[in-house]
Structures are given as structure tokens and as C-alpha cells.
């Protein structure tokens, strides 16, 4: 069986392969000769999966069958397959991909003879641009989620994540989760006595201590000023109280050196609440209850943890 090559076939800026239903190559255009360095005469009549053993034969056969049965195109998506034929990227402007990123379209070519046609499009440049955009976007999103001083999360991120955690809990037999609010005691005095730079150091130190005490799955956020909030997943009131107490005690033991002979010590007050039915499915109410407990701690002498029942 011979396939007539023509000008379009050999000048088009993408790869074209014609295969029979056993995946033997019947045509291989000039573009492929240039990029793969495989001459048409050397591959004609050979099984493409034998020639390129990394091609998933089972999948390609299924695709071939699909296009012949449905008489419609099928695709190998870049979402799941980076390429059909591994072609090293030689373009000097490319810095990310070592192999050409290919969009593949498979078409019925001759239904009677059960022939299929494969188009290979070079999508490397577009993939590279997308990759860089995605990375830049991720960085922007991350920046918009973080508090610039402490680098822990901000209130906006906390609000987004708390909704997800609430949904997850509800989908999984109401796995308990709790909110801890924390405020640095007499923070204004620290600022007034030692200056804002020392105040900032205290805030950063508190943020680091909290982060060390919670799990990576928990959310720690600075809500502004000297106020922090933690959301502990899969954690009931008792265990949350233990975590809060550990944080409070660790902070009380800490100090910041401001001069050779001067150290600043500071304490925190903490409120704890577990999300429950009384919150009417509104996590803001859980947060309010934790806040109320925090103010009780403040009003009853500070450097305390109070739980909301």
C-alpha cells in the first residue's frame, strides 16, 4: 500500500503520521524527518510502538479503535501526555522542557482500510508561557494570602480555608475542629517603651512559636495588630486547650534581647472554641465565641487560656 505524499503533507508545520489499525507506519512527513531525525524510508511498514518503545501501545490501539468506531477525532491531551514521540527541544529560548510538548489529534483517515492519521502539534512555547504565568500567579496568590511582617497567613486566607475545612468536616461525620484566638498582653506598652521595631520582633517571635506548636494541616493567621488565630483540624476542645496552653507557656518563657543587659518578656491571653451545632453552620460564630473567651482571659488577669463551652 502506498500513500501519495504531496506539497502540503511535506511543508505543513506539524507532524503527520498515517498508521494502519496494527499501528504500522504508512506515511511519515518531512516535519517528522527533521525533528526526529528518522527518515520515512527507515520507518515505513514498521510498528510505531516497536520503533519508539516508550509509546503506550494499549492506549494508542484504544485511540485508533475509538476514531474508527466513532468516525470522529480523538486526542491525546497535554494534561495527561506530554508527548507522543520524544523530540528533544533544541530551541535556546526554552528553559523549562527538555522534550517537545505535543498536542496530538488522531483522525479517521480511511474507514474502509482502517487507517488513522495522527497530527502532532508543537505546543512547547505555549506550555512554557503557561508554566511561567502559572508560577507567577501562584506567587501572587501566595503573597496575597500572607501577612508581610510574619509571613504567616492573613485573615483573608483564613476565611477561605476555614470554609473548606468546615465543608470537609461536614462531609466526614462532623470531624471536630476548633478555633484558638490569641492576643499579646499589654502590647501597646511594649511599643511605647521599646519602640515599634521591638514590637515587630515580638509579633514575629509569637508567630514562630505558634507555628512550631501546630501541625502543618492547621491554619495559623495574623488577624492584624497583635491578634492571631489558629484553626486546628480534627481537634476537639480538650486537645485544642492543651495546644493553646503549650503555646501560652512557651511564649511566657521567651524573651527578646533589646540591649546587652535588657530583655523584653511578654505574655499572651487565649480563647478556645470548638465548632458545634450552636454556631448555626456559621464559623464566624465560633470565632466570636473564641474571642469572648479571650476577653474573659484578658479581664481575669491575662496570661491565661479560657475555653468557650
Partner 1 sequence: MKSIIELNEDEKDCLQELMNISYGAATAAISSIIGKFATLSIPKIDTISSSELIKYLEEKLLSKNKYYISNQLINGYLAGENIFIIDEVSSYNLAREFDLEEDEINENEIKDIILEITNILSSATSGKLASLVDTSISFSAPHITKIESIDEFDKRFEGQYSQVIIISTELNFKEQNIQGELMILTKKESSIFLKKALHNALENM
State the residues that interact with partner 1 by CB under 8 A. Answer: 58-59, 62-63, 65-66, 69-70, 72-81, 103, 105, 160, 163-164, 167, 170-171
- Closest separation in Å from C-beta 89 to partner 1: 21
Cβ proximity to partner 1: between 266 and 275 the closer is: 275
- Look at strands 25-28 and 305-308 and give their pairing: unpaired
- Nearest partner of 205 among 230, 184, 181, judged by Cα: 184
Whole-number Å distance between alpha carbons of 166 and 156: 16
| Residues recognised as catalytic | 226
- Closest separation in Å from C-beta 130 to partner 1: 12
- Closest separation in Å from C-beta 104 to partner 1: 8
- Closest separation in Å from C-beta 72 to partner 1: 4
Residues 6+ apart with CB under 8 A from 147: 153, 154, 207, 221, 222
Cβ proximity to partner 1: between 36 and 74 the closer is: 74
Cβ proximity to partner 1: between 71 and 259 the closer is: 71
- Closest separation in Å from C-beta 78 to partner 1: 8
Rounded to 5°, the CA angle 144-147-152 comes to 105
Cβ proximity to partner 1: between 132 and 164 the closer is: 164
Cβ proximity to partner 1: between 79 and 277 the closer is: 79
- Closest separation in Å from C-beta 65 to partner 1: 5
Across 38-67, b (16+ Cβ under 10 Å) vs e yields beeeebeeebbbebeeebeeeebeebbeeb
Cβ proximity to partner 1: between 13 and 80 the closer is: 80
Amino acid at each position: 500500500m502506498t500513500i501519495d505524499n504531496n506539497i502540503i503533507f511535506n511543508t505543513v508545520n506539524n507532524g503527520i503520521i498515517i498508521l494502519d489499525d496494527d499501528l504500522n507506519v504508512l506515511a511519515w512527513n518531512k516535519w517528522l524527518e527533521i525533528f526526529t531525525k528518522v527518515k520515512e524510508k527507515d520507518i515505513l511498514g514498521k510498528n510505531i510502538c516497536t520503533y519508539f518503545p516508550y509509546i503506550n501501545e494499549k492506549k494508542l490501539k484504544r485511540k485508533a479503535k475509538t476514531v474508527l468506531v466513532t468516525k470522529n477525532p480523538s486526542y491525546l491531551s497535554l494534561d495527561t501526555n506530554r508527548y507522543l514521540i520524544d523530540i528533544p527541544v533544541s530551541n535556546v529560548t526554552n528553559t523549562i522542557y527538555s522534550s517537545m510538548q505535543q498536542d496530538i489529534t488522531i483522525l479517521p483517515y480511511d474507514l474502509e482500510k482502517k487507517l488513522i492519521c495522527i497530527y502532532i502539534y508543537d505546543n512547547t512555547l505555549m506550555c512554557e508561557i503557561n508554566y511561567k504565568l502559572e508560577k507567577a500567579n501562584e506567587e501572587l496568590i501566595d503573597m496575597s494570602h500572607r501577612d508581610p511582617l510574619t509571613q504567616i497567613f492573613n485573615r483573608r486566607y483564613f476565611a477561605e480555608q476555614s470554609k473548606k475545612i468546615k465543608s470537609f468536616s461536614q462531609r466526614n461525620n462532623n470531624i471536630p475542629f476548633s478555633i484558638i484566638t490569641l492576643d499579646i498582653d499589654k502590647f501597646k506598652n511594649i511599643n511605647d517603651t521599646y519602640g515599634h521595631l521591638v514590637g515587630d520582633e515580638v509579633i514575629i517571635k509569637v508567630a514562630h512559636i505558634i507555628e512550631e506548636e501546630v501541625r502543618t494541616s492547621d491554619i495559623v493567621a495574623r488577624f492584624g495588630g497583635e491578634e492571631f488565630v489558629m484553626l486546628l483540624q480534627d481537634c476537639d476542645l480538650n486537645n485544642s486547650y492543651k495546644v493553646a496552653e503549650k503555646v501560652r507557656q512557651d511564649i511566657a518563657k521567651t524573651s527578646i534581647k533589646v540591649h546587652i543587659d535588657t530583655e523584653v518578656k511578654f505574655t499572651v491571653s487565649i480563647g478556645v472554641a470548638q465548632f458545634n451545632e450552636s454556631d448555626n453552620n456559621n464559623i464566624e460564630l465560633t470565632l466570636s465565641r473564641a474571642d469572648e473567651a479571650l476577653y474573659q482571659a484578658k479581664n481575669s488577669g491575662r496570661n491565661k487560656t479560657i475555653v468557650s463551652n
